[in-house]
Amino acid sequence: MDDPLMWGFLPYNILFNPSLQRWSLGSYDICFKNKALSTFFSLGQTLPTHRTAHSEFGGLFQPTITQAIRLLSAQPFLTPEQALSSPRSSPSASLKSPDVVDPFSSNSLVYPITYSTNGTDVFPAPSAYDSRKHSWVHIFPEGRIHQHPALAMRYFKWGVSRMILESEPLPDIIPIFIDGTQHVMHESRTFPRFIPRTGKKITVVFGDSVDGEKVFGDLRRRWKALVEMQREALEKKGQDTTMEMGVLTEGLKYNAEAVALRLEATQRMRNEVVKLRNSLGYDAEDPKNGLVETWIEEGKSGAREGHMKDDSWTKDT
């Protein structure tokens, strides 16, 4: 219910202009099961995202995160010659396939017009278009439904850190806090579950633009230094030093400092949303809620979804 209904406040000149609309991440196993669903959600500017609990192709290094990083960034990512030499894939015509055909083409394309999330499917690459640079990417960083009686938040998934550290230039960041949609479609609702409950108050609060240099500048400088070290290491080995935006070497994926930078960037991003939440007068939350370790205990109970011990309701979606 949060997205896309929360954007109902936007003026019509933005609502009906796809270039000004948000891009979002949608669960592959729910939104991209077949061609009909894939087409619907792709036209709604939703990127197919695998979840590790449901797919071996999940995680923060999947191609969809690469697309999100490029959408936030300037172009080009490669020279036209490099783009033309990149492999192209043809989408399947089967109605059971999630592949989506892009009916448009443009001489301004500077990057391959398709990409695959698992090596077999084919989706249009939105970052291929000049008009998509510096796009608006909206994410729900908790990555699942979490309805807590005190409106406490879970830890944030690390994909947000890649968008902060790797996008060029650093995008504008606007924290948002939403309250009330849990009453419209609460996980404890009974029959008829599929009908939203009316008459509920919904609050959507936008914070001030985050001072990116102040909050994330030091982390981005450390990240760029790490990338340069990796490039120098490859050069010494006589290997290709070309690094496409949003595509990482094994060293940049799993290096201890790289992992630490992503963890810190994610925590700082969560802190910005917590500050917005606290400014609205809600009770201060337990700082441990922002730690992955806190929620590991929840998983040990054997229940990933439903009514939890802390009286919250969760669901993968």
250-259 contacts, C-beta under 8 A, 24 or more apart: 252/226, 252/227, 253/61, 255/226, 255/230, 257/222, 257/226, 258/223, 258/226
Task: Provide the residue ranges of all domains of the chain, joining segments of one domain with +.
Answer: 1-139, 141-317
Q: Which two tokens stand for residue 77?
A: 């990512």
pLDDT in tens, 83-123: 555 555 566 667 767 767 555 444 444 445 788 999 999 89
Per-residue pLDDT at 85? 58
Task: Name every residue whose Cβ is closer than 8 Å to that of residue 184 and which is 6 or more positions away in sequence.
Answer: 1, 196, 197, 198, 200, 202
Identify the DSSP state of 241: -
Summarize pLDDT for 200-243 with one digit per residue, the tens.
888 899 999 999 999 999 999 999 999 999 999 999 999 888 88
Please write the tens of the pLDDT for every residue from 119-149: 999 898 888 877 888 999 999 998 888 888 8
Residues 6+ apart with CB under 8 A from 66: 115, 245, 246, 247
Q: Which pTM value belongs to this model?
A: 0.86
